[in-house]
Chains A and B, each alone.
Chain A
Amino acid sequence: MTTYFNEMYQGKSVRPPYARLEDWMKSMPAELRHMKQAEAEALFRRIGITFAVYGEGGDPDRLIPFDMFPRVFTSSEWSRLERGIKQRARALNAFLVDVYGRGEIIRAGRIPSRLVYQNAAYEKAVAGFRPPKGVYSHIVGIDLVRTGPDDFCVLEDNCRTPSGVSYMLENREIMMRMFPDLFRENRIQPVEQYPELLRRTFASVAPDKCDGEPTVVILTPGHFNSAYYEHSFLADLMGVELVEGQDLFVEGGFVWMRTTEGPRRVDVIYRRIDDAFIDPLCFRPDSMLGVPGLMDVYRSGGVTICSAPGAGVADDKAVYTFVPEMIRFYLGEEPILQNVPTWQCGKSDDLKYVLEHLAELVVKEVHGSGGYGMLVGPKSTKDQVEAFRARIIADPGNYIAQPTLALSTTPTFVAEGIAPRHVDLRPYCLVGERIELVPGGLTRVALTEGSLVVNSSQGGGVKDTWVLAE
């Protein structure tokens, strides 16, 4: 039987970061807890944070469940995580500059050429182009799980447009509003500077042609998108315009937005739409979401696009395996955070192992996300395992497998009271002229007993994440 690391309790004793939470937890009668939970839900609904899940019917104004029990790190735990996250973000950006440039890592034989140049996420359209400050991925969301007191593994990297940061900020706001005493008793490092740091990050990568204060915008696919709330929330907190493709046009080598006072030049675009849709002249011709001619302006240095087109090749699940190698190659350092051992079903030895141990493994599609199209072997029925086996055999290159990880648990409010539930962590590392990380992130929690899938599309919830001051 697997043992899971409980972040609050070691046997009967309480680990130091949670010391002050035990009294709080015990002093809260069930009625008060229900009242607070209802209050939190009303606040979320009022603010308008809702989450629509792709491909599901039902209420488009559904809320992601919020668990009031915070997840806590000490400052020393965090400082090690911080070093590991920043190290990884630097290496991933160095890799992107390299593979769209000279391709040194491939020439050195440290990563197979096929994996990069044949990759669907590799954009030939930007080969040879170096974005301002050499940054491709301006927001690196790194999904981490904890398996022991000092053991953190990276599950995956998100180099394009990782979502969820609005929950990090709103979860904190709501906790501060509902439990001010907790914040007086615990010294919790703030996260509210995130939007300002994000704005500065974008401003720091403005193109050379920009003179004066750069105009930054967020480009959204529109209000039908499930993350629209987050787009408008960030625009509001950064004080920048939230634009759709139709609000922008290209003229004279620059990008302009249509305003009530006439056209206004745009210098930095934080796009929340995929590469394939940003410019119908360059990528998908049927895209209604993008801006015709945008890529020409980008390549001539008239505008910065964040994340840079082509950044996706670094967060591919097959490329993931080589990130420790990147850290050694570009930075000459040993990785601080470990990868999860990964089998590539495309390799015959690996495939053989995976098929023999399918019931113990987690199998994912290389390009999948959001917890869709995956198999959690130990939690699946025999029939489900066999059905998945057939899918893997049909297209082995499309799958990777990892051991089922012993995700740590934290106490969580559930119907019966308080019980341990499995959690992961997504911090948001900002890369511009400087590398910044706010002390916190999004903790996702699998609310179903025993479940290891924390994705909100699969019934996961969220928690406030605390990093204590020294």
Chain B
Amino acid sequence: MLSRTADNLFWIARYMERAETAARLLEVGSRIALLPSAAGYRNEWDSLLQASGNADAFARKYGEPVQRNIESFLFFDRDNANSVASCITTARENARIVRTALTAQVWDALNSAFQELRHLERTPRSELELSRLTEWTMRHAAMVRGAIDATLLRNDGWDFLNLGYHLERADNTARLMDVKYYVLLPKVDFVGSGYDNYQWTTMLRAMGAHRAFHWAYGGEVTAAKIAHFLILNRQSPRSLITCVDGLSDHLDRIAKAYGTCTPAQEAARAMREGIEALTVEDIFEEGLHEFLSRFIGVNADMGALVRNTYLDGDR
């Protein structure tokens, strides 16, 4: 397959996953903001921007982080390459370029998301509840994902799409968990308080994992259980270990199809072994924020390795 085609497929997946994360970030923020605010706290919305790595770009354009501006920035703003609107537009444009590598159903799903987006952009903002925007995004992301799973040939193109999904999802889960760090940072003594638990629960809701968590663990919501669920539990579809598994599996499929193993496969295997050996205690000992920062770095290196190996065509 042409490197450029593989690259386009890889980024279609990354952008769709990223759109979903932007929506989930908005969801987390709006729920956290429903708590009575305590003077001296860092602004919750600001913490979202910090975690998504967009704080500077936002400040330059909008200044104060108030909800309406953040909604604009994370959903509608075309200047923000990571907004829902930008991500869906770019994913659809990439799909148009590689139409022949996709089924009609996948194209339909991406194209109709884009057409509806254009309609949303013409709708007066007063008629658009935040929850409607986030649900809309998640619904379309799921439709694209479903079309891919149900109709696409299981060839190398499918693997590159899935590499995109898993790399991006791992990054996003780590960043969403890190929001918690930014929110809590000022007052360490809140750890373990009711407020703390409320925030953790919100995080679970944002990842659509609230119910799933209770099925898997039951009882008290604790930081340790949640960290386990989102990092180390293979049952959780968004956990870091699930993403790393997927990454490694799809790279192995590619190696088998092409008949050559590359440093990318080795790196993914090392990543998987590293995370498998961890316990929640290890993570808390290192510090959750430190662990997540390190993971985000390793994951980014992994992405670069995939690009150098397969997507750049030796340029």
Contacts and interface: CB of A to CB of B under 8 A. Distances in A.
Contact of B100 (A235, A247, A257, A261): A235
B3 to A, nearest CB: 4
A263 B313 CA distance: 7
- Residue among B3, B107, B258 with max Cβ neighbours from chain A (10 Å): B3
B210 interface: no
A261 B258 contact: yes
Given A258-B2, A260-B1, 20 more contacts: A46-B108, A47-B104, A48-B96, A223-B93, A223-B96, A223-B97, A236-B100, A241-B2, A241-B5, A242-B100, A244-B4, A246-B4, A258-B3, A258-B313, A259-B1, A260-B2, A260-B6, A260-B160, A260-B311, A261-B260
Contacts of B156: 260
Interface of A: 46-48, 222-223, 232, 235-236, 241-244, 246-247, 257-263
A296 B93 CA distance: 34
Contacts of B68: none
Nearest to B104: A46
B1 A48 contact: no
Contacts of B220: none
B99 A260 contact: no
B315 interface: yes
B97 A258 contact: no
Contacts of B313: 247, 257-259, 263
Nearest to A223: B97
Interface string B230-267: 00000000000000000000000010001010000000
Contacts of A259: 1-3, 313
B314 interface: yes
A260 B314 contact: no
Interface in B241-300: 254, 258, 260
Interface in B94-122: 96-97, 99-100, 104, 107-108
B136 interface: no
A260 B107 contact: no
Interface of B: 1-6, 93, 96-97, 99-100, 104, 107-108, 156, 160, 254, 258, 260, 310-315
A263 B314 contact: yes
A258 B312 CA distance: 8
A258 B315 contact: yes
Contact of A260 (B93, B97, B100, B310): B310
Nearest to B93: A223
A44 to B, nearest CB: 13
Contact of B3 (A236, A242, A260): A260
Given A258-B313, A258-B314, A260-B310, A232 B2 contact: no
Contacts of A247: 2-4, 313
Nearest to B260: A261
Nearest to B115: A61
Contacts of B315: 258
A262 B2 contact: no
Contacts of A258: 2-4, 312-315
A47 B96 CA distance: 11
A154 to B, nearest CB: 34
Contacts of B311: 260
A242 B2 CA distance: 9
Nearest to A231: B100
B19 to A, nearest CB: 21
Nearest to B160: A260
B2 A257 contact: yes
Contacts of B160: 260
State the 9 A-B residue pairs at the shortest beta-carbon distance, nearest first: A258-B313, A236-B100, A258-B3, A260-B310, A223-B97, A260-B6, A260-B1, A261-B258, A232-B100
A47 B100 CA distance: 11
B95 to A, nearest CB: 10
16 contacts: A46-B104, A48-B99, A223-B97, A242-B100, A243-B4, A246-B4, A247-B4, A257-B2, A258-B313, A258-B314, A258-B315, A259-B3, A259-B313, A260-B2, A260-B254, A261-B258
A262 B1 contact: no
B107 to A, nearest CB: 7
Nearest to B311: A260
A257 B315 CA distance: 11
- Residue among A46, A246, A260, A263 with max Cβ neighbours from chain B (10 Å): A260
A243 B4 CA distance: 9
B250 to A, nearest CB: 13
A62 B258 CA distance: 41
Contacts of B5: 241
Nearest to A45: B111
Nearest to A234: B100
A242 B98 CA distance: 9
- Residue among A232, A241, A247, A259 with max Cβ neighbours from chain B (10 Å): A259
A222 B93 CA distance: 12
Given A243-B2, A247-B2, A262 B100 contact: no
- Residue among A235, A243, A261 with max Cβ neighbours from chain B (10 Å): A261
Contacts of A246: 4
Nearest to A48: B99
A236 B160 CA distance: 20
Contacts of A232: 99-100
B260 to A, nearest CB: 8
A222 B1 CA distance: 17
A244 B98 CA distance: 12
A235 B5 CA distance: 13
